[in-house]
């Protein structure tokens, strides 16, 4: 496995490209640090971010933020986005940093490693990052699995989540659906997926329940289960026709396994009075 594949700790060592030749760590003004354009994270938990900010106020920043030098005298973030954002909330003006010279591919890899190893990223954020490594940097699923320490099937399954509609992906980003729910949704036809997703959220289905429902939907071709299907035979159809002619209105005869009913339709109050007179 490459140095990148071993995680961020492989980068945090003293070397010739750090500001401080002795400690390997220096400080930068927060205003000098710009976001990593390859950062996969899209959503922050505000409550957890505030908790981290409170911790930083109390204990300081123990782990340096990793940055790379840009041509315009600014520094681009490589890893440590949560610490940087929490430092802003805590009111810090400067943060400890380690400066590294990295390629764009390494920037993305490191951002993924930091978040995935700590399980901080949402499934859709991870999927988008893996997709970017695959499409923009031409890495195979096997190569990605080596970098992040996940098996190839996990990589492929996560990337498949991007086939879901934007609406369902947003549900996952908002933590209304887990990756387990999402994989089950992918098993049903495209035109039923959003309705199925809404059913899962509305009823707070577990992943196991979602998987069993996906199997049912695949077999029946419908999201909503019909508990007592209506039975129609030639006799019922014939009687509907006779009653409709007699009362000059639409009539429906419905029966399930337990019981049956006759529905006589009317359009307005006078129509109802006419039908009631006929029934007397």
Q: What residues act catalytically?
A: 81
Q: Which residue has the tokens 């505000």?
A: 46
Residue 97 host element (H or E): strand 94-99
Quote the CA–CA distance of 122 and 5 in Å, as a whole number: 21
Which residues, including other chains, have CB under 8 Å from residue 231's CB and lie 6 or more apart? 255, 256, 257
**Cα–Cα nearest to 97, from 112, 105, 108, 87:** 87
Quote the CA–CA distance of 140 and 202 in Å, as a whole number: 37
Contact between 184 and 214 under an 8 Å Cβ cutoff? The reply is yes
**H-helix segments, the chain:** 46-59, 81-90, 104-117, 123-135, 141-148, 152-160, 166-173, 179-185, 190-203, 207-220, 234-247, 269-279
Which structure tokens are listed for 255? 């029966």
Contact between 213 and 222 under an 8 Å Cβ cutoff? The reply is no
Which structure tokens are listed for 89? 């909330």
Which structure tokens are listed for 183? 């994989």
């Amino acid at each position: 496995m490459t140095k990148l594949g071993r995680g961020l700790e492989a980068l945090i060592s003293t070397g010739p490209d750090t500001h401080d030749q002795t400690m390997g760590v220096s400080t930068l003004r927060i205003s000098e640090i710009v976001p990593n354009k390859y950062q996969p994270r899209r959503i922050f938990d505000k409550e957890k971010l505030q908790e981290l900010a409170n911790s930083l106020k109390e204990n300081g920043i123990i782990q340096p933020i990793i940055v790379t030098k840009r041509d315009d005298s600014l520094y681009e973030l490589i890893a440590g986005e949560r610490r940087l954002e929490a430092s802003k909330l805590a009111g810090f003006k400067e943060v400890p940093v380690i400066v590294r010279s990295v390629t764009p591919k390494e920037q993305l890899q490191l951002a993924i490693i930091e978040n995935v190893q700590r399980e901080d990223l949402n499934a859709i954020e991870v999927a988008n990052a893996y997709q970017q490594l695959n499409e923009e940097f031409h890495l195979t699923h096997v190569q990605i699995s080596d970098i992040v320490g996940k098996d190839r099937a996990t990589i492929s399954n996560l990337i498949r989540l991007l086939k879901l509609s934007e609406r369902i992906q947003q549900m996952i980003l908002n933590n209304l659906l887990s990756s387990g729910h999402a994989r089950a949704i992918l098993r049903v036809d495209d035109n039923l997926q959003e309705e199925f997703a809404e059913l899962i959220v509305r009823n707070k289905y577990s992943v196991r329940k979602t998987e069993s429902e996906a199997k049912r939907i695949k077999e029946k071709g419908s999201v909503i289960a019909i508990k007592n299907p209506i039975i129609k035979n030639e006799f019922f159809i014939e009687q509907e026709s006779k009653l409709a002619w007699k009362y000059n209105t639409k009539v429906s005869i419905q029966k399930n396994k337990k019981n049956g009913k006759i529905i006589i339709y009317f359009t307005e109050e006078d129509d109802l009075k006419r039908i009631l007179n006929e029934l007397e």
